[in-house]
């Protein structure tokens, strides 16, 4: 009989944590026990696990002994404090925060792209990439393997749920307030997000790019295993609840036609091509991504401004493939090795 595992979800009351629980249930993860952890504020509350309810426990007083897999999504500070404790107690931590992503001894893994990186987990911690990087590399991997990507220009259109439950709630609250001619009162974002766009996600760094943008640079190189790829990102928050979109412009070492790229993407794991301009078919966050697993790719075309340029439109559910689903897929890969 195959093994069953004790699994902890840290941040179980959050937007990503609750989706981790629902995906673990939906995919029938081989669990002997699932433990929901959050702050003291939520201890005793109930969260859904399939048709069951779990009682949330206080992370601060929880003993991690015996936990096999711990899926963390409670922010970088919590990961920095607690992930090493879970790892020291014998768990493999799959961490959705940015705390360890760029550490050389922590694999940064997208299940369809670089699963071999799971062969060595020296600190007992595996990092889950940033949501924008995640969906982009799923689509770019087959193109990089075929013709070599030398440069990526990307503009992101990131939904408010990327800022957690409070981000999605702020969009709803402001939209309703504005329709009643009331003040939007921004709290979670620096200015009004309803009916607006915000060209800053996270803090600025010294080079004029934001931290969110620099994640796209560094994480893409690490996951694709190619430090020479040049990445020029602009990350924008948009008034969408769920689903990130990206306009991506590639320059490749060898020429690839749109038809060749479409054929590669049609057989790429985790990708669904929705690309029929004649019928007006392209993916959107609401009509395709929200609540779905695949990374959707459309608007595949050769760049008229560059001899080896290719343009793509990439859309995925930032909470599912961008975070919770990939964490569970990584846990599945590790569980399969231990069965």
Applying CB under 6 A, the residues found at the interface with ligand A2P are 11-15, 17, 38-39, 41-42, 59, 74-75, 78, 164-166
Residues recorded for the chain = 339
How do strand 230-237 and strand 31-38 relate by DSSP bridges? unpaired
Which C-beta is closer to ligand A2P: that of 245 or that of 318?
318
Q: Number of H helices and number of E strands within the chain?
A: 7, 14
CB of 322 to ligand A2P, least distance (A): 13
Within the chain, residue ranges assigned H as helices are: 15-26, 76-88, 131-147, 165-179, 211-224, 258-266, 325-338
Single out the residue of 332, 291, 319, 331 nearest to residue 11, CA to CA. 319
CA distance 171 to 237: 11
CB of 91 to ligand A2P, least distance (A): 16
CB of 81 to ligand A2P, least distance (A): 9
131 catalytically annotated: yes
CA distance 175 to 145: 43
Hey, what are 79's tokens? 């990961």
144 catalytically annotated: no
Which C-beta is closer to ligand A2P: that of 74 or that of 93?
74
| Identified catalytic residue from 244, 249, 288, 306 | 244
Q: Phi and psi for 276 in degrees, rounded to 5?
A: -140, 80
Q: Which residue is nearest to ligand A2P (CB)?
A: 14
Compute and round to an integer the Cα radius of gyration of the chain: 20
CB of 194 to ligand A2P, least distance (A): 19
Which C-beta is closer to ligand A2P: that of 59 or that of 310?
59
Which C-beta is closer to ligand A2P: that of 112 or that of 317?
317
Active site residues: 131, 244
């Amino acid at each position: 009989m195959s093994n069953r595992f004790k699994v902890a979800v840290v941040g179980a009351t959050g937007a990503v944590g609750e989706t981790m629980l629902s995906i673990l249930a939906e995919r029938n993860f081989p669990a002997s026990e699932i433990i929901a952890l959050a702050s003291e504020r939520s201890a005793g509350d109930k969260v859904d696990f399939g048709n069951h309810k779990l009682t949330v426990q206080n992370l601060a007083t929880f003993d991690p002994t015996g936990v096999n897999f711990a899926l963390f999504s409670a922010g970088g500070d919590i990961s920095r404090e607690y992930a090493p404790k879970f790892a020291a107690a014998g768990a493999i931590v799959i961490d959705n925060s940015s705390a360890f992503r760029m550490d050389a001894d922590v694999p940064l893994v997208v299940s369809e792209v670089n699963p071999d990186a799971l062969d060595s987990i020296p600190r007992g911690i595996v990092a889950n990439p940033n949501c924008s990087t995640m969906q982009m590399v799923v689509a770019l991997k087959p193109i990089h393997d075929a013709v070599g990507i030398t440069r990526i220009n990307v503009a992101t259109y990131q939904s408010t749920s990327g800022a957690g439950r409070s981000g999605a709630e702020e969009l709803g609250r402001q939209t309703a307030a504005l329709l009643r001619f009331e003040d939007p009162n921004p709290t979670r974002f620096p200015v009004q997000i309803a009916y607006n766009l915000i060209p800053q996600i996270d803090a600025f760094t010294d080079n004029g790019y934001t931290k969110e943008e620099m994640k796209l640079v560094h994480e893409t190189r690490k996951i694709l295993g190619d430090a020479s790829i040049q990445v020029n990102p602009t990350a924008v928050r948009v008034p969408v609840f769920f689903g990130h979109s990206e306009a991506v412009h590639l320059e490749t070492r060898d020429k690839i036609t749109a038809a060749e790229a479409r054929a590669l993407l049609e057989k790429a794991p985790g990708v669904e091509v929705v690309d029929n301009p004649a019928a007006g078919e392209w993916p959107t966050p609401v009509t395709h991504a929200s609540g779905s697993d695949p990374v959707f790719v459309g608007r595949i075309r050769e760049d008229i401004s560059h001899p080896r340029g290719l343009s793509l439109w990439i859309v995925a559910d930032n909470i599912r493939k961008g975070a919770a689903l990939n964490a569970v897929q990584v846990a599945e890969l590790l569980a399969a090795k231990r069965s």
